[in-house]
């Protein structure tokens, strides 16, 4: 007699909102991939971000300040003494909050010890640079099944610990394909990641770099973030105006853009009013314009704990799906 398979209805599932480390780029409990060509500044970018996160400073693109967090940064390609530590110092990081596993060449992404360390230290962000160096020995980058089996334990550990994971990856040389397919290895790497960020050079000024979000399963795609390698060092330039083919069609009025933004943000879940306003500000929308759009859409509000939430009426949501 075969064992019975248990089954549940989604009525017993308690819906919850995504918790963000850096909205809408890096989420807690999820895997994010950061990819780019060699020399485009992936490692420096992430260490500059670590500098902000370990101090609790505001993040680029209007990201809100958080409490200082602890980070694990594991890298095999750069030397801790003459490369990583100097970069952390330049980034202004609190090095007491940045950890690594010394002399652990056998450490892999599926190592059970990772979750124990994350819990013991209270780490909220884990970075592998490059993650290809930490795959199990039997991993085949072109084999979808083996790639999923190698990454699934890490994804589950991140969810259980409510810890963000960033995998820094190399890219292949297929310049003609879509960016999401340019990550080295099986497309299942991109499939298991909830967010994919890509760093590229600015064609007009090679010292400038642009970080673009090319995939986001958890919310609207974020604005491109610009930074520069100047003579004075690393410089954040913040969010760039969104290109015409993205969410807000430039031909739309400010009011229509605000309505489309609100509908997109609230399509999946209710959001805190502050989060809606922050994202709208990132898109260059004035507060009064957003409030007018909120009124026109008959957005419902309710208080939960100390925060006010916005809810998209079913009639509006239904029209959006049609």
pLDDT tens column, 154-184: 999 999 999 999 999 876 554 444 444 444 4
H-helix or E-strand containing 166? strand 164-169
| Contact call for residues 314 and 299 (beta carbons, < 8 A) | no
Region of residue 295 (phi > 0: left; psi between -120 and 50: alpha; otherwise: beta): alpha
Residue 234 has pLDDT above 70, yes or no: yes
Per-residue model confidence (pLDDT) at position 71 = 98
DSSP, collapsed to helix, strand or coil, labels residue 70 as strand
Residues whose CB is less than 8 angstroms from the CB of residue 98 and which lie 6 or more positions away in sequence, other chains included: 50, 54, 70, 71, 72, 73, 88
| Lowest model confidence (mean pLDDT) among 108-117, 172-181, 225-234, 297-306 | 172-181
The pLDDT value recorded for residue 265 is 74
What is the reported pLDDT for 245? Answer: 39
Q: Residue 171: which of 189, 155, 153 has the closest Cα?
A: 189
Cα–chain center distance at 32? 5
The domains of the chain, with CATH numbers, are 20-239 (3.40.50.300), 254-321 (1.10.10.10)
Q: What is the pTM of this model?
A: 0.71
46 vs 254: which has the higher pLDDT: 46
Q: Is 68 exposed, middle or buried (0-12, 13-18, 19+ CB in 10 A)?
A: middle
**CA–CA distance, 123 with 20 (Å, rounded to integer):** 15
Q: Which pLDDT score, from 0 to 100, does residue 66 have?
A: 74
Cα angle 249-273-19, degrees, rounded to a multiple of 5: 90
Mean predicted confidence (pLDDT) in 298-312: 91
> Does 60 or 160 have the greater pLDDT score?
160
Please give the backbone phi and psi of residue 141, each rounded to the nearest 5 degrees, phi first.
-65, -20
Q: For tokens 């973030």, what's the residue?
A: 225
Those residues with Cβ within 8 angstroms of residue 42's Cβ, 6 or more apart along the chain or in another chain? 34, 35, 36, 129, 168, 199
User: Tokens 């409990």 sit at which residue?
Assistant: 29
Question: What pLDDT shows up at residue 237?
Answer: 84
For 255-302, write each residue's pLDDT tens digit. Answer: 887 887 788 777 667 888 888 887 777 666 788 899 999 999 999 999
- Cα 16 to its chain centre, rounded Å, is 18
Q: What is the pLDDT of residue 47?
A: 97
Report how far residue 29's alpha carbon sits from residue 269's, in angstroms, rounded to the nearest whole number. 18
pLDDT of 38 reads 84
> What confidence tier does 58 reach under pLDDT thresholds 50, 70, 90?
confident
Tell me the mean pLDDT in the region 10-34.
Answer: 92
């Amino acid at each position: 007699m075969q064992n019975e398979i248990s089954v549940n209805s989604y009525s017993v599932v308690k819906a919850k909102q995504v918790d963000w480390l850096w909205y809408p780029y890096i989420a807690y409990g999820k895997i994010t991939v950061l990819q780019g060509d060699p020399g485009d500044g992936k490692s420096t970018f992430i260490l500059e971000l670590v500098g902000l996160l370990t101090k609790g400073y505001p993040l680029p693109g209007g990201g809100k300040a958080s409490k200082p967090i602890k980070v694990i940064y594991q890298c095999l390609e750069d030397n801790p003494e003459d490369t990583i530590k100097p970069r952390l110092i330049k980034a202004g990081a609190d090095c007491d909050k940045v950890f690594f596993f010394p002399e652990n060449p056998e450490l892999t992404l599926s190592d059970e010890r990772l979750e124990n360390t994350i819990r013991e230290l209270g780490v909220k962000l884990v970075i592998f640079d490059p993650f290809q160096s930490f795959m199990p020995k039997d991993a085949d980058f072109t084999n979808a099944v083996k790639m999923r089996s190698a990454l699934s334990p890490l994804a589950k550990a991140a969810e259980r610990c409510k810890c963000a994971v960033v995998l820094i990856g190399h890219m292949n040389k297929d310049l003609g394909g879509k960016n999401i397919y340019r990550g080295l290895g099986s497309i299942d790497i991109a499939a298991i990641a909830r967010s994919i960020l890509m760093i590229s050079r600015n064609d007009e000024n090679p010292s400038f770099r642009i970080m673009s979000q090319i995939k986001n399963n958890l919310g609207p795609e974020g604005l491109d973030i610009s930074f520069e390698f100047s003579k004075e060092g690393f410089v954040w330039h913040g969010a760039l105006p969104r290109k015409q083919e993205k969410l807000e069609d430039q031909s739309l009025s400010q009011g229509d853009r605000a309505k489309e933004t609100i509908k997109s943000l609230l399509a999946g879940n209710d959001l805190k009013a502050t989060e809606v306003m922050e994202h709208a500000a990132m898109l260059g929308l004035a507060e009064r314009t957003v409030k007018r759009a909120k009124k026109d859409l008959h957005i419902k509000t309710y208080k939960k704990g100390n925060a006010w939430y916005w809810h998209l009426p079913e009639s509006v949501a239904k029209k959006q799906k049609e």
